[in-house]
Amino acid sequence: MADRSYRWLLISLAVVGLTADQASKYLVFRWLYNDGVFTDRSGTGNAYDLPPGNWFEIIAQFDPETPPCEGALAGLQTWSTKGQPLMPRVNHGALFGIGGSKKGLANATFAIISVLAAVAIVVWGLRSTTARERGLMASLGLILGGTLGNLYDRIVFGGVRDFLHYYGQFEWPVFNIADCCLVVGAFLLLIQAVFFTPLEPAAVSPAPASAAAPQTPTPTNQP
């Protein structure tokens, strides 16, 4: 079905990814806030090991040096700490902490990049040829959901909240659901680019000349 559109898939995955990311961040940080009693190795938060093997943990750390904002954002920032003036510890940079040492500059830079990426995905998804490719719509939906999830954090918290941590055979940087959406979406996009050929617009064949207009029989002379 050449004219079928999968824009609904892009929108659905973007909404699901954004919702799952924000819900998990707020709930995990509220759960591990533990009324301000911190017992992890850094002394700034709490962690919960997932069995078996103690190789993966859910971790939430807080930043006593950064006060919450005043006004409308205050409630969004302190919901996880039950209204206490304590901010989550955030990653100001990108994946793997790239650029995190610059803090405000890094956060603003990656926020702008996120906005541009989101706009580009929406514009790309509005193209009729793109909308007919189910795999491409799925990958763009995941990337859009992850982009919007981390963009929300950059606007509200000044950085990205991370809470998933693998430390088994090697130490992996702490990440979140939005990062998972971005990685999976980018991987699907790569597969789409390498192994699948984009659909071409359906060509419209001109009607044959014989069918364009009925032929009028030539009258014959009667004797």
pLDDT, residue 80, reads 96
**How far is the CA of 48 from the CAs of 9, 34, 80, 111, 167, in angstroms?**
34, 12, 17, 30, 13
162 is a catalytic site residue: yes
Peptide bond into 68 cis (omega under 30): no
Please give the pLDDT value at position 201.
Answer: 55
CA nearest to 80, candidates 35, 16, 38 = 35
7-33 vs 134-157: helix crossing angle, rounded to 10: 40
Q: What is the pTM of this model?
A: 0.83
H/E run at residue 14: helix 7-33
Look at residue 72 in the predicted model and tell me its pLDDT.
83
DSSP letter at 177? H
State residue 154's pLDDT score. 96
Strands (DSSP E) found in the chain: 45-50, 56-63, 87-88, 90-91, 160-161, 164-166
> What is the C-alpha to C-alpha distance for residues 91 and 220, in angstroms, rounded to an integer?
92
pLDDT at 209: 53
* Active-site choice (3, 21, 35, 179): 179
Q: What's the CA gap between 14 and 35, in Å, rounded?
A: 33
pLDDT confidence of residue 169: 84
Residue-level pLDDT at 93: 74
**pLDDT beneath 50, residues of the chain:** 1, 204, 211-212, 223
pLDDT at 195: 81
